Chain A
Amino acid sequence: MPAPPPVADASNLAVSAPPLPAQPSRGRSRIIAYVAGLLVLAFVVYSWSNVQGSVSALVNGLFAKKGIFRDVFPHSVPPDSHELWPGVQAAVTTLCIAVLSIALGIVGAIAMLPFAARNITPSRPLYELARLTQAILRAIPELIMLLFFLITVGFGPWSATVALTFHGIGVKGKLFAEAVEEMDMTPVDALRVAGAGRLQVFVHAVLPGVRNTLLALTMYRLDANFRSAVTLGAVGGGRDRLPDRQRTERVPVQGRTHVHRSS
């Protein structure tokens, strides 16, 4: 057996350290960073008092006589068999609201996309208009949007769907546009230089380039929309049309899991 090669002596490998140039002092900016950090911390503490934060109130509330652990859970487990089927139906409606509003929202957001992304928009004013429209749609809370459609379209899940669609066009429109602005433009330029028109470039280079990003954003928004559909269902956008004598005792929440029986 040949002798193993000598192991390199680590001390031989060490290079003599050259004198490092002095690190430039960040004196002023470091002080500013500390001050900013302290201000943020102070505001967090102030917020606690502003919202009347209290650990004891939370704990007492949860374990009180009418609280979750001593009253609600024991009464709702196992669930009342009469409540199970309507509950499932409501949950299905919630899912339908979320899925349909996402689908319609994607159509709207993609229709605006050729104008709303700065790097492919045909004109600056159209870009500003598209982004402004999206900002307005985002700025109106889903609940306010729902109230508007409850009045104009009527109570029920369709109003919730329309409200979420419009809000979603604002959100997805912006997210999609930002995805396009971040994308690799070389294939886009290549088709453009080959003489392709705007729509051709959009369909064959822009959309394929952002397809996966858009899919991921859509999945993320789907669970946001599902969450919102639960809330909107509770205030008139659900299956339980209000007013309904039989159901006034219940909280008409989509996918409700418990009915609180006050007795």
Chain B
Amino acid sequence: MLGRDLSSLGGRDLRRARCDAAVIFQQIALVKQHSAFENVCFGALGRVPLIRSLVSRTFPSDVRDRAAAALQRVAMLDKAWQRAGTLSGGQAQRVAIARAYCQQAGVILADEPVSALDPRAAQEVMELLADLAYSDGLAVLSVLHQPDLALRHADRVVGMKLGQVEFDRPPGELSPEEIGGLYAHLHEA
């Protein structure tokens, strides 16, 4: 990634490399006992000096400002002090996107970000991710199991089957047959 072989890194170098890519998880992975705002701040832990990072009140003001801006971006500013464990799935995933945004990485990797969400929340999350890519110029790479979501939001769709790349094209150039072909083998057996 970014010209580095991550598997060869360790310790401090690996930590620094991790700061350059934000990850969004299928399981959302917020710290449930903390507020939405603190969770967003945690995205920046990699660049906060250790001594100021142990209590969220002492986080540097630029991190706090960035976190507030991130929450506003995902329309969760009014829920800033709500405990993450009490948010709905869609709200929690939006906070997780704010956390990734607060990390200020150039790359966002999303691992099935909408698998646990209802269609409407999934739509919102995909729109936010697409907006980060198109408005902020971030590289967003997302794994999806719903081809229609990929066709609607992505500017490049990579189809994979049994670990092999089947196609790699803009969504406009894809036919339904090609997409259906990805899943055909699952129903043969």
Residue of B nearest to A202 (CB): B54
Check if B33 is an interface residue, CB within 8 A of chain A: yes
Q: Are the C-beta atoms of B31 and A197 separated by less than 8 Å?
A: no
- Secondary structure class of chain A's binding surface, majority of residues: helix
Of the residues A197, A199, A204, contact of B42 by C-beta under 8 Å: A204
Given that A190-B23, A194-B99 are contacting pairs, would A204 and B45 also be in contact in the complex, using a CB cutoff of 8 Å? yes
Q: Are the C-beta atoms of B42 and A196 separated by less than 8 Å?
A: yes
Check if A89 is an interface residue, CB within 8 A of chain B: no
Could you tell me the distance in whole angstroms from the C-beta of B21 to the nearest C-beta in chain A? 8
Given A194-B19, A196-B45, 10 other A-B contacts at CB below 8 A?
A190-B23, A190-B29, A193-B18, A194-B42, A194-B99, A195-B19, A196-B42, A199-B50, A204-B31, A205-B31
Check if A186 is an interface residue, CB within 8 A of chain B: yes
Q: Are the C-beta atoms of B31 and A196 separated by less than 8 Å?
A: no
Q: Are the C-beta atoms of A187 and B30 separated by less than 8 Å?
A: yes
Residues of B within 8 A of A199 (CB): 50, 54
Can you list, as one digit per residue, whether each of A203-228 has a CB less than 8 Å from chain B (1) or not (0)? 11100110100000000000000000
Residue of A nearest to B48 (CB): A200
Q: Roughly how many angstroms separate A195 CA and B46 CA in the complex, as a whole number? A: 4
Residue of A nearest to B99 (CB): A194
Check if B130 is an interface residue, CB within 8 A of chain A: no
Q: Are the C-beta atoms of A208 and B34 separated by less than 8 Å?
A: yes
Residues of A within 8 A of B42 (CB): 191, 194, 196, 204-205
Check if B47 is an interface residue, CB within 8 A of chain A: yes
Given that A194-B18, A194-B45, A197-B15 are contacting pairs, would A208 and B103 also be in contact in the complex, using a CB cutoff of 8 Å? no
Residues of A within 8 A of B90 (CB): none
B residues within 8 Å of A by Cβ?
A: 15-16, 18-19, 22-23, 25, 27-34, 38, 42-43, 45-48, 50, 53-54, 56, 96, 99, 103
Residues of A within 8 A of B22 (CB): 194
Q: Are the C-beta atoms of B54 and A190 separated by less than 8 Å?
A: no
Residues of B within 8 A of A203 (CB): 54
Q: Are the C-beta atoms of A186 and B29 separated by less than 8 Å?
A: yes
Q: Are the C-beta atoms of B103 and A194 separated by less than 8 Å?
A: yes
Q: Roughly how many angstroms separate A195 CA and B107 CA in the complex, as a whole number? A: 14
Q: List 23 A-B contacts (CB under 8 A).
A: A186-B29, A187-B30, A187-B32, A189-B29, A190-B25, A190-B99, A192-B18, A194-B22, A194-B23, A195-B15, A195-B16, A195-B103, A197-B50, A199-B50, A199-B54, A200-B48, A200-B53, A200-B54, A204-B31, A204-B56, A208-B32, A208-B33, A208-B34
Residues of B within 8 A of A187 (CB): 29-32
Size of the A side of the interface (Cβ < 8 Å), in residues, is 19
Residues of B within 8 A of A200 (CB): 45, 48, 50, 53-54
Residues of A within 8 A of B48 (CB): 200
Residue of A nearest to B45 (CB): A196
Q: Are the C-beta atoms of B45 and A211 separated by less than 8 Å?
A: no
Can you list, as one digit per residue, whether each of A166-197 has a CB less than 8 Å from chain B (1) or not (0)? 00000000000000000000110111111111
Could you tell me the distance in whole angstroms from the C-beta of B9 to the nearest C-beta in chain A? 12
Q: Roughly how many angstroms separate A229 CA and B117 CA in the complex, as a whole number? A: 53
Given that A191-B45, A194-B99, A195-B19 are contacting pairs, would A211 and B33 also be in contact in the complex, using a CB cutoff of 8 Å? yes
Q: Roughly how many angstroms separate A205 CA and B45 CA in the complex, as a whole number? A: 12
Could you tell me the distance in whole angstroms from the C-beta of B159 to the nearest C-beta in chain A? 26
Q: Are the C-beta atoms of A195 and B47 separated by less than 8 Å?
A: yes
Could you tell me the distance in whole angstroms from the C-beta of A88 to the nearest C-beta in chain B? 40
Could you tell me the distance in whole angstroms from the C-beta of B40 to the nearest C-beta in chain A? 11
Residues of B within 8 A of A194 (CB): 18-19, 22-23, 42-43, 45-46, 99, 103
Could you tell me the distance in whole angstroms from the C-beta of B5 to the nearest C-beta in chain A? 17
Residues of B within 8 A of A195 (CB): 15-16, 18-19, 45-47, 103
Q: Roughly how many angstroms separate A187 CA and B84 CA in the complex, as a whole number? A: 11
Residues of B within 8 A of A193 (CB): 18, 23
Q: Are the C-beta atoms of B31 and A208 separated by less than 8 Å?
A: yes
Residue of B nearest to A200 (CB): B45
Residue of B nearest to A192 (CB): B18
